Structure 1
């Protein structure tokens, strides 16, 4: 059952989140629901990968829009095991 939820967020964050959702052809509600589900779920969420941008919403950390998370992780592993 879907229930309406009202949130108060920074306008800039809302605008960025809407652009993020539009690029992925998803609703902002769906993205927020998936993120909240990942916080409260004991199981690993396999249906939706939470991006650095979405994670940054909860922490308030500014993540550059051009960041390549996979490359960053690849570099981290390379440094760790080299």
Structure 2
């Protein structure tokens, strides 16, 4: 069930939000509802590790002093010789 909510916002922000909503073919109410939903949803659900990712963890072992940036730099130097 939808309920009414009254907000007090800066006039410029309101106009910008209306323009954004119109250019994206969405009502301002739906835009705000979507934003508030994204802010308040349970964060743990998005960080769930899938079985595939879990099965891949630990597959690659690197030396403790391995430097990713140096390795990538070496790769680029070899690639563009």
TM class, shorter-chain normalised?
A: 0.5 to 0.7
Tell me what 1:67 maps to.
none
TM-score calculated relative to the size of structure 1: 0.52
Tell me what 1:6 maps to.
6
Where does 1:1-80 land on structure 2 (aligned, <5 Å)? 1-42=1-42, 43-44=45-46
Report the CA distance between 1:33 and its aligned residue: 0.2
Structure 1 runs not aligned, ≥5 long: 45-80
Specify the structure having the higher radius of gyration (Cα).
2
Tell me what 2:67 maps to.
none
Distance (Å, rounded) in 1 between the aligned partners of 2:11 and 2:34: 21
Report the CA distance between 1:38 and its aligned residue: 0.6
The two structures, once aligned, show a CA RMSD in angstroms of 1.7
Please identify which structure carries the higher helix content: 2
Query: Deviation string for 1:30-72 (max 9, x for gaps)?
Result: 000000001110145xxxxxxxxxxxxxxxxxxxxxxxxxxxx
Structure 2 runs not aligned, ≥5 long: 47-71, 74-81
Higher relative contact order (CA 8 A, sep 6+): 1
